[in-house]
């Protein structure tokens, strides 16, 4: 099977397309932020002291950003396991370009952009898509497992189907090579090339640990939002963590619905109705979307800016080192 390659364009055209895509991402993010229901934040401030709500919203935002950071670490482990080393700033660049490009309508522009960025930073298409396939399987399995925290409360005995994910996660931890074989089979069925090197046993287990931690920490952002509208703190903690994880996993599995919009909110509202009146549960579900998107954008922009700074500084340092070294001996003899 021939490796997938994008055509190489002249540098001026590449730069123009890069600038156009960056503007498209910025515009798409701005439009997404403008379309959010910011009224739910005002509803929360109307219920409690402004200082308390500010602290609760700040805690929710920090939890959302921390959870995404742990998710990045899971992806990073798999990527670095499947091929030659890549510097940390370039790993960050590849991940967050792909992550923020999801806001651009349609999947094709984002796929092309992240493929070009990955290739330019030493990660081929086969390695990139193998990483995505393996990580997505771990995301869903760990997500439905953590989702048991809410699924049992929502569905009772009918939540038994979620236990299948927990069984598979345990199986993956015991025999990590299964997930490599599963992702390789999926890529063959999709007629996509796989990476030359599979993730190690340690790598798969570490990725499962990071991704599970990511779900738990990200789900924690829902808890202060629920408390802000009157949910009992002790009773709602596990429910909030499980509800967000379950709702997001179902949204991801709903591949034809962009970012699970609507699906996630419906599942969240149904779960939160166990500890809140239905109108308050709907407010929290909508506020969760606001906090999640703001957290993603803030973290993504900060991470990309830091990565670009470090990459450019590294290039400058190498140039300065080369200039300080002076001409080569061969060059001196010719002079």
DSSP line for 249-267:
HHHHH-TTSGGGTTHHHHH
Helix, strand or coil, per DSSP, at residue 219: helix
Closest CA to 127 of 89, 95, 82: 82
Token output for 289: 């979307």
Going 117 to 122 to 124 to 128, the CA torsion angle's sign is: negative
Closest CA to 239 of 213, 267, 262, 260: 267
Residue 163: partners with Cβ closer than 8 Å, 6 or more residues away = 148
pLDDT 10s digits, 33-51: 999 989 999 889 888 888 9
Kindly give the residue spans of alpha helices, DSSP state H, lying in the chain: 11-35, 39-47, 50-81, 88-100, 108-120, 125-146, 148-155, 160-174, 177-189, 201-219, 222-228, 233-253, 263-272, 278-325, 329-334
Residue 205: partners with Cβ closer than 8 Å, 6 or more residues away = 173, 176
What number is the average pLDDT over the span 107-130? 87
- Please state the pTM of the whole predicted model: 0.86
pLDDT at residue 111, as a whole number: 86
Q: State how far the Cα of 99 lies from the Cα of 94, in Å rounded to an integer.
A: 9
Q: Give first-to-last CA distance, the chain, whole Å.
A: 51
- Asked whether the predicted pLDDT for residue 330 surpasses 50, the reply is no
Higher per-residue pLDDT: 31 or 180: 31
pLDDT 10s digits, 133-153: 889 888 988 998 898 888 888
- Could you give the dihedral angle defined by the CA atoms of residues 114, 118, 120 and 123, in that order, rounded to the nearest 10 degrees? -160
User: In whole angstroms, what separates CA 214 from the centre of its chain?
Assistant: 9
Most confident of 126-135, 167-176, 183-192, 232-241: 232-241
Token output for 302: 């900060």
Token output for 129: 């898509």
pLDDT 10s digits, 197-228: 677 888 889 999 999 999 999 999 999 999 99
- Asked whether the predicted pLDDT for residue 318 surpasses 50, the reply is yes
Burial class (CB within 10 angstroms; exposed 0-12, middle 13-18, buried 19+) of 68: buried
Confidence of residue 178 (pLDDT cuts 50, 70, 90): confident
Token output for 206: 């570490």
């Amino acid at each position: 099977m021939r490796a997938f390659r994008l055509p190489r364009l002249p540098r001026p055209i590449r730069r123009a397309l890069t600038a156009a895509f960056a503007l498209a991402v910025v515009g798409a993010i701005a439009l997404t932020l403008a379309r959010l229901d910011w009224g739910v934040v005002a509803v929360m401030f109307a219920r409690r002291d402004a200082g308390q709500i500010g602290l609760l919203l700040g805690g929710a935002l920090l939890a959302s950003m921390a959870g995404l950071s742990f998710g990045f670490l899971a992806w990073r482990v798999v990527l670095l396991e499947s091929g030659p080393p890549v510097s940390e700033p370039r790993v960050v660049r590849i991940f967050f370009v792909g992550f923020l490009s999801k806001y651009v309508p349609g999947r094709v522009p984002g796929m092309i952009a992240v493929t070009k960025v990955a290739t330019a930073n030493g990660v081929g298409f086969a390695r990139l898509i193998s990483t995505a396939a393996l990580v997505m399987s771990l995301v869903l399995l760990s997500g439905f497992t953590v989702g048991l925290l809410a699924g049992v409360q929502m569905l009772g005995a009918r939540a038994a189907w979620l236990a299948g994910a927990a069984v598979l996660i345990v199986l993956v931890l015991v025999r990590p090579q299964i997930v490599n074989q599963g992702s390789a089979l999926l890529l063959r069925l999709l007629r996509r090339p796989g990476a030359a090197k599979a993730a190690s046993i340690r790598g798969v287990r570490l990725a499962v640990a990071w991704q599970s931690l990511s779900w738990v920490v990200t789900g924690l952002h829902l808890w202060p939002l629920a408390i802000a509208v009157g949910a009992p703190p002790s009773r709602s903690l596990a429910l909030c963590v499980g509800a967000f994880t379950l709702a997001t996993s179902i949204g991801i599995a709903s591949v034809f619905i962009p970012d699970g919009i609507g699906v996630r909110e419906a599942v969240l509202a149904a779960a939160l109705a166990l500890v809140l009146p239905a109108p308050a549960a709907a407010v929290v579900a909508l506020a969760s979307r606001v906090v999640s998107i703001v957290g993603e954008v803030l973290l993504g922009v900060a991470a990309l800016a830091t990565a670009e700074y470090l990459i450019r500084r590294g290039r400058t340092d190498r140039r300065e080192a080369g200039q300080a070294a002076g001409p080569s001996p061969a060059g001196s003899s010719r002079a």
